[in-house]
Chains A and B, each alone.
Chain A
Amino acid sequence: MKKAAAVTGAFIMLAGCSTADISPTAEDEVTITYARGVDTTNATDATIKAFEEEHPNINVEVREMPPDTGEQHNQYATILSSGSDEIDVFAADVVWPAEFAQAGYALPLDRLIERDNVDIDAHFPATIESTSYNGRQFAMPAYTDAGLLFYRKDIVDEPPETWEELETMAADLQGEEGTSFGYAMQASQYEGLVTNAIEYIGAYGGQIINENQEVVVNSPEAIEGIQKMIDVTQSDFVPNNILNFQEIETENAFINGNTVFARNWPYLLSTSTDPEISNIPDNVGFTTLPSGSDGTASALGGWTTMINKNSEEVEASWEFVKFMSSEQGQKIGALEGSRAPTIESLYDDEDIQEANALFADDAFVETLQNAVPRPVTADYPEVSDIMQIELSRAAAGEITAEEAAANLERKLSAVLNEE
């Protein structure tokens, strides 16, 4: 019995210390909580420092969310659906705003944007398109990302222009300079497969869902794109476990010098040129993704910033969001974390051009301008889930491109017409 009493005591003590970290703040000082994934660069800290200097009465606390994007989404959904106000501002993947807007988790920003005369047209149009839903702005772009083709400069003289050229070159050059494969991409059953597929489909002029929320995937163009993806994943020049490849595997294959070409996000440039971890620091080249019959298409990635609808500190939160998407905030992100700004004019900034070879590259800026957003729909998670399954089956060679397109059309229509 004595034991039990001691345990109860411990209970109370522990419950007590859990609340101890909520310290009262001075009346005019405001603390907001900013949630984001794990940031291994200095960018978040530097941004917050600069912001706090400008707004001495606002403190920003960082709440780390799971590093995996999918788990991060689920954690936000859990927290926000409970109506909690423990986070005020949060980083959202470029595909979330529509869903979170529809679910009522995010504060619409239109009135604030209008009040403070924020120029949202300074950002790349695709980034604004993906942060608005039904004509209302629910997020501000923080930084952007787009797929690029990386290659070995010591093997490839002239990078391929079209997917056909890539196929020939990858098959021919595979094995040179100790490489084992010609090409690596992301084909595991996860969100990355959707972005890769969108690039193939876009290159041949196809679309999944059009502006009017109609499913248009069962078109000759889209089928051609899917077919090209199948040709690549079923070829001999990709790793035999390509169906398990995500960004990390692609990065490893490239920096270990195992592959001639690789499709990845811009971050690969900094890791592959770092002699500490890369075997090929001096031989890295990059260019836009190959073209199909309708030019080149690169999937839009990147992150945005949203405000929790239940936040008690809307004004302070908005100041922070505004700061992060401003020229000043994005410049810090570019210099400290190599994050590609969404404000077009920043690419003329000399500091930024110096910070990363990518930012000075016209081809890269053009890629960003033309990046293709993934379908903007509130049902995106369900749409993505269906696409992952069907595209995974196609990439594995279980079904043909025609079957995949037909299945996608049937299943996606069922989702979008449910309402």
Chain B
Amino acid sequence: MAGKPGRKFQLNEKQLGYAMVAPALVLILLVVIWPIMLSGWNSLFDYRLNDPTKSERIMSESLNLEEYADNRYLVEQNVNELSEAYPEGEETFNETWAVVEEHHEELVAEDEMAASYQEVNSMLNDYEPITDDNLRIQSIDGSWGSDFEAAMDEQIEAVNSVQQQADGDIALEIGYLAAQLENLQGSVLSPNFVGLQNYTDYLSDGRTWTALTNTTFFTIVSVGAELIIGLGVALLINRTFKGRGIVRASVLVPWAIPTAVAAMMWSYLFDGQSGIVAHYMAAIGLISDPGSLLTTASGSMFSIIFADVWKTTPYMALLLLAGLQTIPNTQYEAAEVDGAGRVQKFFFVTLPLLKSAILVALLFRTLDAFRVFDLIYVLTGGGPANATESISVFAYKALFEQQNFGAGSALSVIVFVCVAIISFIFVKLLGSDLFPERAKK
């Protein structure tokens, strides 16, 4: 079909082509692909922000100087105080401090480390935040780390045995010394690279599979319903009739209400006592009683799907409506000449020509539905008893509530893989329709 442009022209076209693609690619690479790769990398670590021994990705043994300096100071303070307050343990406390000192001497024998330590310590004294990770985290060579850990184990045990003889407040104080020694020991960071362990853990966890099942069920039912209703709506608003503009605008209203607000709204409408929708559904016998909507496993899944279909059908309809615009009138006229009725026209003209629009709409809706988050998080929080927890909600809990970045990233990558498989199937189904270069031939 295409003619052959001149050679010089083609070069220009090529350059222009790359220039036109560049802004989108740069943005996508920078803002999305890079974070995705970072997440993939995170998922290979036991990486938790709320645990100082795991709050960095560590490939080789390191020392968290901030923790080290801070806890060393505290241990020193506490040893001095306790030696006075509890003379029975003085010997042990002094011994403990001597061991800490001995290792400290060894550590700062190295000039570079000594300088860094000084810097961190003085910043701590001035309540200055230490934000430079290169300063805060120092890698350590040789056996210092393991020696120190072993020595601390011994000292913690010694302190604990002193604690057992003491009682009352003093026992509590000695307990704190043990805790500080543990923290000091914890400043030695072992590598937390765990390879695929996060994946094997989560893939053998029943909760992941429940979440995946919930998500799949939600996706299939809601996208299916949206497609059927959306197609109906698209055909309806594609007709010419009086007041078409108003109808078009009003069927799009649900979609223009932000999900976060819509979810709040539905929790009000579904409420077992005062929710009007729950009330009417019970009145017409759709549900046994208004209370069952958000409190039973099936009721809450139904509620979520219902709210999602209500909200997202307009989106589907709009995409399909756009697809309908590309069907030339001549096709219908030709079909009419052949004596086709309304139903035949739909099945033999509309549907085949709408195939790529339907598949693109389905593709993007499926991608969205599989990553569903806001609606479930606000409406049910994943309950009751996790019956509506989607994989994104699960990942969100791991990432933001538990600050477990390793696990949360692994779950996100699992979502990514699932969605990639689904997309691959769609793209295969779409075949040549979606790849214009092939269609061009």
Interface residues of A in 107-154 (CB under 8 A from B): 107, 134-136
Segment at the interface with B among A156-164, A287-295, A376-384: A376-384
**For residue A107, which residue of chain B has the nearest CB?**
B127
Q: How far is the CA of A78 from the CA of B408 in the complex (A)?
A: 14
A239 at the interface (CB under 8 A from B): yes
Known: A103-B55, A239-B291, A240-B291. A310 touches B401 (CB 8 A): no
The answer to the question of A81 belonging to the interface, with a C-beta cut-off of 8 Å to chain B, is yes
Distance, CA A309 to CA B124, complexed state (A)? 11
The residues of A that contact B53 with a CB separation of less than 8 Å are: 419
Q: Count the A-B residue pairs with Cβ separation under 8 angstroms: how many?
A: 121
A135 with B180: CB separation less than 8 A: yes
* B383 at interface by CB-CB < 8 Å: yes
- CB contacts under 8 Å to A, within B257-296, are 271-274, 289-295
B183 touches A74 (CB 8 A): no
A188 at interface by CB-CB < 8 Å: yes
B272 A240 Cβ-Cβ under 8 A: yes
Name the A residues within 8 Å of B50 (CB-CB): 99-100, 102-103, 378-379, 381
Interface of B is mostly: loop
How many residues of chain A are within 8 Å of chain B by beta carbon? Answer: 47
- Assess whether B403 is interfacial by the CB under 8 Å rule: yes
> Which of the residues B66, B67, B173, B402 comes within 8 Å of A382, measured between beta carbons?
B402
**Selected contact of A189 from candidates B172, B293, B383, B403, CB within 8 Å:** B383
Query: Contact: A189 with B381, CB < 8 Å?
Result: yes
B384 in contact with A70 (CB, 8 Å):
no
Residues of A within 8 A of B49 (CB): 77, 81, 103
CA distance A242 to B51 in the complex (A): 36
- Distance of A204 from chain B, by nearest CB (Å): 23
Q: Which residues of A contact B381 (CB under 8 A)?
A: 188-190
Smallest beta-carbon distance A60→chain B, Å: 19
Q: For B274, give its contact among A243, A252, A379 (CB under 8 Å).
A: A252
Among B67, B131, B401, find the residue whose CB has the most chain A CB atoms closer than 10 A.
B401
B290 touches A241 (CB 8 A): yes
The A-contacting residues of B in range 307-325, CB under 8 angstroms, are: none
- Of the candidates A102, A107, A381, which one forms a contact with B52 in the assembled complex, judged by CB atoms under 8 Å apart? A102
Does A392 make an interface contact (CB < 8 A)?
A: yes
Which of A74, A85, A392, A419 lies in contact with B129, CB distance below 8 A? A85
B52 touches A396 (CB 8 A): no
**B384 and A396 form a contact (CB under 8 A):** yes
- B-side contacts of A241, CB under 8 Å: 271-273, 290-295
**CA of A63 to CA of B149 in the docked complex: distance in angstroms?**
43
Which chain A residue shows the least CB distance to B183?
A: A134
- Name the A residues within 8 Å of B290 (CB-CB): 241
- Expressed in whole angstroms, the Cα–Cα distance for A239 and B289 within the complex equals 11
Name the CB-closest residue of B to A312: B129
Q: Does A389 contact B (CB under 8 A)?
A: yes
Q: Is the CB of A310 within 8 A of B129?
A: yes
Contact call A389/B385, Cβ cutoff below 8 A: yes
In the bound complex, do residue B273 and residue A77 qualify as a contact, i.e. CB atoms below 8 Å apart?
A: no
- Chain B positions within 8 Å of A102 at CB level: 50-52
| Smallest CB-CB A-B distances: 5 pairs | A189-B383, A241-B272, A135-B176, A240-B291, A241-B291
Q: Could you list 6 A-B pairs, sorted by A, with CB under 8 Å?
A: A107-B127, A241-B272, A243-B295, A243-B384, A392-B384, A392-B386
